[in-house]
A and B are shown apart, each in its own frame.
Chain A
Amino acid sequence: MATLDGFPLTNDPDALLLAVRDTRDRTAFLALFHLFAPRLNAWMRRGGLDARQAEELVQDVMLRVWHRAAAWSPERGSAAAWMFAIARNARIDAARRDRYPAWDDADPALVADPAHRPDDALEVRREAERIRGALADLPQDQAQVVHAAYFDQRSMPEIADGLGLAVGTVKSRMRLALGRLRLTLTPPVEEGP
């Protein structure tokens, strides 16, 4: 059987996370762990953490996934996107000793999304695949700034500093990269009157 790091390709992250959410399935959770722990570990190490800190955060992320799975729904985004956001928050929480601010679906102040549809889950999956393809096809110089933003959590001026480039150059590469992704992403929010 075709495998991904020794695990069957049928181990689709979205299906696994649904099983964790709906039936508290530990086998599905372990499969998610085997799929994501080495990637989360790679991401934490790339962000400059040592082996011990990185593994502590990997554990922290996977615990949050287990306990907060009820908050995930496939209509809102892929399992990978949700876990990315959790990993980002865990990393910042550990560094700043504070909770990364995030909106809350149960907030009385939340303005609901009128465009939300029941068939969004399928659309989210297609989008995720398309985004993955678009990212893999980015030219090297654009991929470099996108990776610096996502893996190193750097803003444009910091990326420019790190690469020894003008801020304008980094901004235009990011704009080009996002422009390519924009084919598949929601257009930027327009300024109103």
Chain B
Amino acid sequence: MAVDVQVARPKMPLWVKVFIGIGIAFGLLLIGVLLFGGAEHGPGRHLGGQGDSSSSGADTPPTEHSGTHAPAPNGQANDARPGIPTA
């Protein structure tokens, strides 16, 4: 005896909705950082004049992430690094 069973289309599981929510939140956070964080996010933020070592910009030290590093051994703040070309 054949039984014709109508199978309902499955709904999106909760865990997928949670993943999508996290993804949207992360995307908005990234956009916020790019818009209001000085637009310094990206590979170029670490080294000025990247890819052209002959340019003076190649010697420019990074300006970001300094806070994650230990201060210079002589007690100087990281912003007062030797070798920074000042205008």
Specify whether A and B are partners: no
User: Chain A residues in contact with chain B, CB under 8 A?
Assistant: none
Which residues of B are at the interface with A, using a C-beta cutoff of 8 A?
A: none
